[in-house]
Structure 1
Amino acid sequence: MSITPEQLQELMKEVEQEDPIDFADLPFEEDELRAITAQHLCDMADAMENFSNEDRQVTLLAVAAKLVLENLVLHVQLLRQHDIPLSQQVNSLLQNIKKK
């Protein structure tokens, strides 16, 4: 792998400066969660070492899409749990998805 888990963890922190993660009151250290995540992703990348570039890109795109979807679902569930109405933007997005 061309990046170490430690380097990836630092990149994650840089990205979070623009788009912070709300860790709320999770009983885990933020850096520990980043380290676990970075290690897991580097392990996945190493496992794809023998993939063609196209297969690697498609696999990483599928993983990213799954994570974005999971994030959306968790966000909507949290809003519903706390009886917070969905923003117009989120509501429009969900309505568009229902129509398809």
Structure 2
Amino acid sequence: MASFLTKCLLDFFVAFGVVLGGTMLAGICAVITLDPPVHRMETVAEQIKIWAMVAAIGGTIDPIRAIETHFHDGHISPAIQQILYIVCAFVGAHMGTSLIKWICGTGAAP
């Protein structure tokens, strides 16, 4: 159980960090290129969200294949764990995007 929670937290924070780090670096790039950083940061935060999830769950199709294999073999628990890992990565990426929107002043306060 501890390794499951550890993996969930790791997926959450990796996805959160990918969105936050990528967006902040895009903001720095916007300043260097004299673009409005707020607009660039919001755009990148939305575009990078799915890639943050992919990076958090391993970057391959293996988690989806694991879900299929476990359901096919009748083992529900490992498939549910994989789904929960994906959900944790989504929540991390979404919270990162929401934080960026809040920082930029276009989103509601969390």
TM-score, length-scaled by structure 2 = 0.34
Which structure shows the bigger proportion of residues in helix conformation?
2
TM-score, length-scaled by structure 1 = 0.37
Higher relative contact order (CA 8 A, sep 6+): 2
